[in-house]
Every structure is written in C-alpha cells, then in structure tokens.
Structure 1
Amino acid sequence: MASLRKPTKEEIQAAIGETMIDVIAPDLKVLFCGINPSLYSAVVGHHFARPGNRFWPTLHQAGFTDRLFNPAEDRDLLKLGYGITNVVDRATATADELSKQELLIGGQNLAAKVEQYRPCCLAILGIGAYRTAFGKPKAVVGRQEETIHNAIVWVLPNPSGLNAHYQLKDLAIVFRELLIAVRRA
C-alpha cells in the first residue's frame, strides 16, 4: 500500500492557491465533491490527505470500500465507480477563506463537469458550500429534490476533522444512506 510523506511547513505554506487533478471518469456511480483542497492535499497530490480528515475512514465504515484506503490510493476509487472533485479548485488552509463569488463560480464549473462526465450521483461534502454554490439557503443534508444534468444530488457533511458537528460514526451513517440509494438506482 502506498503511503504519503509528511510535507514540511514551508511546502504547505507554498501550496496556497495550488490546484489538484480530479479523480474522475465518465459514468461514475458517485462523484464525491469536496469544498476545496487542503494545503496538505495540494502538496502531496492526493485528495482528503490531511491528517484528521475522516473521508477515507467514513467511506470504509459506510461500506463504499471493503477496506480502509490510504489517500495515496485515491485513484483506485475509479475501479469501484467513484471519483473525487471539488467545488473550488484553489487550495486553502480552511474553506472559510473562500469567497461567495468563488463558490458560485465553482458551482457553475461543477455543473459543467457533471454534464461532461455524467455521474449517477453527485455527493457534495459540505452543506454550507452547497447552499452558497447553488443558491439553496435552506438545503439540508441528504438527497436534494433537484438534479444537476440528470445526476442525483446528495449533500453530506464535510468529513474534515474541523467539522465537530459529526463524529465518525455519524458520518458513516449518513454516507451509508447515500450508498443504499445508489445501489437502488
């Protein structure tokens, strides 16, 4: 199993504004969409790589993967029919550094990706980012009424360790609801 080297403080500081390559392919079951890359992820080149991010344990505990993946294995998700992108491409220390305008433009860019790649489901990981990017101020976690270019839209909590509202077991429960819906689709 591949592992990641720990970046230096200087490398992390230099990653401000960097972008990452999407893990994406046509006709995925689920395209997971983070808010934006962390500086840590931008340095190491793998999604959800920052220590403390609970994306990978949540995927495993919810049943999306049969074992705990390491962030260095993010491209292996494609073999399972899953991909990863972000609402905003720019890496920051925290998502709070993003402007409303960046999120709105990111929502438009994300809709274009969905149109191009046609995933069955778009899972946006962050209720606040979804509300802003798509002008849905009253949206709640779970399946949304609208679709984006025929993709089911599902909003899930942000798995960042900074999100204290959801513990790992709670994240796994709401991610599992998505998995069950995708299996039925």
Structure 2
Amino acid sequence: MRPSAAEVAAAVGRTIPDLVGPGLRVLFSGINPSLYSAATGQHFARPGNRFWPALHRSGFTPRQLHPSEQWSLLDAGLGVTNVVSRATARADELSAAELVAGGEILAALVGRWQPRFVAVLGVTAYRTAFARPKAVMGLQAEQLAGVPVWVLPNPSGLNAHYTAETLGVAFAELREAAER
C-alpha cells in the first residue's frame, strides 16, 4: 500500500530498522532513508529507486524483489542499513557532521556483524563520512572494522549518471567478488 502525501510528509526524521544478521555476504548501506521509505518502513521503497532492480540484474537475487520483501534478503546473505538513520526528503539535507557520525555508527555495526563486504551506495557520502576525498567507485584500499569496503553508485532515480543496466553491472562486480 502506498503512503499518502501526508504520511510521507510526517516521516521527516524517522528511522528504519537495520536489516542485519550473522553470516552476511554483503551489508548494503544507503546514505539515509527517503521520506517515502520511512513512511513505509521499507528500505529503498520510493518508486523509481533502482536498488531492487540492480540487485536482480546483478544476480544477487533470482527475481526482482519488492521492498515489502526486504526481510528475504537475509536468507540470501544480504543486509541493508544506512550511513545516517534520519529520513530526509533529499540526501543533501544531511550535514557533513551527520555523515561523519553516521560513519562511526556504521563502522560499529560492521564490526559487530562482520559481513564479507560492506557496500556504501554513494561515493560522495562515502568520501565525507570516512574522510576519503579521492575515493572512487569499486573496492577501496581501506577497510571498515576489518571488512572490505565497496563503493557503489547511489541507486536513487535522481542519479542520472547511471541507468538500471549500468547499476546492474556495478552491483554484479561486487557480487562476483563476494562469491570468490
């Protein structure tokens, strides 16, 4: 069921529970929840977000899942969290200090669950949160709590630099590394 405009507007500042557990191959970390996602309680729920199509196109999932099926990701060894837990209308509403603090929280979460990889979805947010101004897409030289970090493009429909196809290719590179 789609949330109403009033429900979406009321979601400012809400959070969504992390989708984590033992034995994760990849822990995906978005920048922060959209208002739409916070209103539904589902990660990457906004229509037009390409996270779910990218997971499927890359081979992480055998079919395209709906955000309401997010808990089935755990069975596939996949988890979802965010660098910053606070929902906003746009990621550019987050301060650098929030991203840095969120990076510290993400590092603690990664340290607790020790996934095989952590994937941060958004190079600009990664650069700010982890003081890596020259970071590029792909596997990073630095680890997070002893876990390899992979930076992927932000799957938001607002990211016009990537298509559903090129997102699928980028996600597939991570999947192949996680399966080695």
- Length-normalised TM-score, structure 2: 0.99
Structure 1 residue runs of 5 or longer lacking an equivalent are none
Partner of 2:77: 81
Q: 2:108 and 2:70 mapped to 1: Cα distance? A: 22
Encode CA deviations 1:115-157: one digit per residue, 9 max, x unaligned.
1111110000000000000000000000001111221100000
Shift of 1:27: 2.7
Q: Amino acid of the residue matched to residue 90 of structure 1? A: R
Encode CA deviations 1:17-48: one digit per residue, 9 max, x unaligned.
00110110023100000000000010111100
Pick one of 98, 117, 120 that aligns with 1:121. Answer: 117
Structure 2 residue runs of 5 or longer lacking an equivalent are none
Encode CA deviations 1:63-111: one digit per residue, 9 max, x unaligned.
0000110000001000000000000000001101000000000000000
Partner of 2:136: 140
Q: Amino acid of the residue matched to residue 66 of structure 1? A: P
Q: Amino acid of the residue matched to residue 111 of structure 2? A: E
Q: Amino acid of the residue matched to residue 97 of structure 1? A: E
Q: 2:123 and 2:142 mapped to 1: Cα distance? A: 15
Equivalenced residue count is 180
Q: 1:157 and 1:29 mapped to 2: Cα distance? A: 19
Change in Cα spacing, 1:85 to 1:26, as seen in structure 2 (3 Å) is same
Q: 2:146 and 2:97 mapped to 1: Cα distance? A: 25
Residue identity (%): 57
Partner of 1:9: 5
Partner of 1:177: 173
- Length-normalised TM-score, structure 1: 0.96
Q: 1:182 and 1:20 mapped to 2: Cα distance? A: 26
Give 1:94-113 correspondences, 5 Å limit: 94-113=90-109
What do you get for the CA RMSD once the two structures are aligned? 0.6
| SS of structure 2 residue aligned to 1:11 | helix
